């Protein structure tokens, strides 16, 4: 693994640890704030620990803090539950005022953090009303805490500060939401560019088959070939061209295809691909069977190139300590070929073993599997018994008529 990839992996681990420590620090601060609230009191006042309402508010505060700690995208309903519990506890405090300062600062801060998630995941279930409910809970706590001291000016000022804090959280949440939207738009733009690239490459595939038809027609004119055989050959080349075009048009129409399409390559470009990979510090070698030269359909050659490129990308990203990579493109039987990429690296933690269907592979291998299946081939990605990882694909040399 190169110094750049090692530095990237270390940076990723550092960011994860930093975020966990930050969240743990926030949770600790909230719990300390809650504990201080329960036992602090002014002159001639009892601490909130003597009030049953304060205990209810403490339970709600702990629940809100718990929701913040365990929140992940897709758990927005828990934010709604936390907001509802907070509203109920605050209204209970306002109705049954016992003359004792309540508990709510830690709850207020935790709800503010949940407000950020509610705004960021604005359109997620159960709906946008969760953000409004959480904002109402934040405002109500701020007003209740400040009005309990009967200081009108302090209440107004505190209400304004609370509104400003909530506005800041909403703005930050909206900013994060805009980043998510920008990322989605960028992905769509990349997909659109890839589809346009495929449209440009369609000419090469169709031209290959049409050129074959022209050659067959010219040969029939200057030789004693049986006309029926010549017409049959021309018909077969024409059907192959139509099938090739049909497959490409199908891919172009798949707006939401997750596999993606990249600029096409061929068998001769695989050696260049491996050579560029070896320049980055890994011992990478390549062997391509000579008998495959000129005997593989352009679509199959492009798929083989894609298999090697995706496998080498995964080696660079996931194979820890890989120092040797072997790429082999060999004939397999009379009508097929096998592409294999093997490394001696160690898989990262969490990388499952087993075939591709159970490997937990990312979208790269998923899309690659779809592309291999589309031309009548089979893909497998699995650990090797002697160590390392293998990505291999069996491909036909020509596109089957049934595909």
Q: How far is CA 180 from CA 55, 119, 127, 186, 285, in A?
A: 39, 12, 18, 10, 41
The tens digit of pLDDT for each residue in 237-272 reads 777 777 767 666 665 555 444 444 444 567 888 988
Q: Strands across the sheet with 283-288, in order?
A: 283-288, 324-332, 336-343, 389-396, 378-383
Assign 357 a pLDDT band (cuts: 50, 70, 90): very low
The tens digit of pLDDT for each residue in 281-313 reads 678 899 999 888 878 888 888 889 889 988 988
- Of 110-119, 165-174, 189-198, give the range with the top mean pLDDT: 110-119
pLDDT for the residue 148: 59
The set of residues, in sequence order, having a beta carbon less than 8 Å from that of 319 and lying 6+ positions away, is 1, 343, 345, 346, 347, 388, 389
Query: What are the structure tokens assigned to 67, written together?
Result: 């929701």
Average pLDDT over residues 344-349: 72
Q: How far is CA 294 from CA 129, 315, 378, in A?
A: 63, 29, 22
Query: What are the structure tokens assigned to 206, written together?
Result: 């169709």
CA dist., res. 44 & res. 48, Å (int): 13
CB atoms within 10 A of CB 244: 19
The set of residues, in sequence order, having a beta carbon less than 8 Å from that of 137 and lying 6+ positions away, is 83, 86, 87, 90, 111
Q: 267-396: what CATH class?
A: alpha beta
């Amino acid at each position: 693994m190169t110094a750049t990839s090692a530095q990237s992996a270390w940076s990723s681990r550092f960011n994860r640890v930093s975020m966990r420590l930050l969240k743990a620090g926030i949770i600790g601060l909230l719990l300390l704030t809650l504990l201080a609230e329960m036992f602090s009191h002014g002159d001639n006042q009892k601490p909130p620990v003597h009030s049953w309402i304060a205990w209810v508010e403490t339970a709600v505060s702990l629940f809100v803090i718990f929701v913040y700690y365990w929140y992940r995208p897709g758990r927005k309903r828990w934010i709604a539950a936390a907001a509802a519990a907070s509203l109920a506890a605050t209204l209970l405090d306002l109705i049954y005022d016992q003359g004792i300062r309540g508990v709510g600062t830690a709850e207020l801060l935790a709800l503010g953090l949940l407000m950020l998630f509610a705004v960021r995941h604005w359109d997620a279930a159960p709906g946008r009303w969760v953000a409004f409910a959480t904002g109402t809970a934040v405002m109500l706590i701020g007003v209740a805490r400040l009005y309990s001291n009967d200081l009108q000016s302090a209440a107004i000022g505190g209400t304004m500060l609370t509104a400003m804090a909530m506005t800041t959280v909403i703005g930050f949440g909206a900013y994060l939401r805009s980043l998510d939207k920008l990322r989605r738009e960028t992905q769509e733009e990349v997909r659109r560019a890839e589809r346009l690239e495929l449209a440009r490459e369609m000419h090469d595939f169709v031209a290959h088959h049409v050129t074959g038809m022209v050659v067959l027609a010219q040969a029939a004119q200057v030789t004693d070939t049986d006309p029926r055989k010549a017409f049959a050959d021309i018909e077969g080349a024409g059907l192959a061209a139509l099938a090739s075009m049909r497959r490409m048009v199908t891919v172009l129409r798949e707006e939401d295809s997750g596999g993606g399409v990249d600029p096409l390559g061929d068998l001769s470009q695989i050696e260049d691909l491996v050579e560029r990979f070896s320049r980055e510090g890994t011992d990478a070698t390549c062997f391509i069977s000579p008998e495959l030269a000129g005997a593989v359909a352009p679509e199959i050659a492009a798929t083989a190139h894609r298999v090697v490129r995706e496998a080498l990308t995964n080696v660079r990203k996931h194979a820890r300590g890989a120092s040797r990579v072997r790429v082999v493109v060999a004939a397999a039987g009379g009508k097929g070929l096998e592409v294999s990429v093997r490394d001696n690296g160690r898989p990262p933690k969490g990388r499952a073993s087993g075939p591709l269907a159970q490997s937990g592979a990312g979208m790269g291998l998923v899309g690659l599997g779809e592309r291999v299946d589309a031309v009548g081939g089979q893909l497998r990605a699995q650990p090797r018994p002697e160590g390392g990882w293998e990505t291999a694909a069996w491909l036909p040399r020509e596109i089957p008529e049934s595909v």
